[in-house]
Homo-oligomer: A and B are copies of this chain.
């Protein structure tokens, strides 16, 4: 979908800043913070304010164009929501993020909600661990 159409779908005016933000969000790395986006955008247009980036990212996430993940303390991470639903497995040592999907877990979540009479609207599943590379490094360090 062309970027202009996305903006119009949101009932917003098409501005150069919004186009630039979309450009960066869709062509950059898949996980990014508002700060990341702000910096990339700044490089191409030094006249942009970071409030504009925040504002637009918020709007995009409210309309499910991007997914916002807020884990305690640290800045919110975003990602373009085009792809299928998935959760994250994050390395606590190097911050590398792996995406996974597991329909079995999803199904069990629904089941739990139903058990308590809740209608499920959303969920957060974030796994934390040590990735293979960091595990290797750690055992190497221990052997030394």
B-binding segment of A14-22, A23-31, A43-51, A65-73:
A65-73
Q: Which of A70, A117, A132 counts the most chain B CB atoms within 10 A?
A: A117
Q: How far is the CB of A109 from chain B (nearest CB, A)?
A: 6
| Pair B131/A118 contact, Cβ less than 8 Å | yes
Given A72-B76, A125-B124, A127-B120, do A105 and B98 touch, yes or no (CB 8 Å)? Answer: no
A sample of 8 more A-B contacts (CB under 8 A), given A105-B105, A113-B129, A121-B129, is A68-B72, A72-B76, A91-B118, A92-B122, A100-B116, A118-B132, A119-B130, A123-B126
Does A9 reach chain B (CB closer than 8 Å)?
no
Q: How far is the CB of A125 from chain B (nearest CB, A)?
A: 5
| B-side contacts of A109, CB under 8 Å | 105, 125, 127
In Å, the complex CA distance between A71 and B122 comes to: 13
Chain A residues within 8 Å of chain B by Cβ, number: 38
| Pair B112/A120 contact, Cβ less than 8 Å | no
In Å, the complex CA distance between A118 and B89 comes to: 8
In Å, the complex CA distance between A118 and B128 comes to: 9
| B-side contacts of A132, CB under 8 Å | 116-118
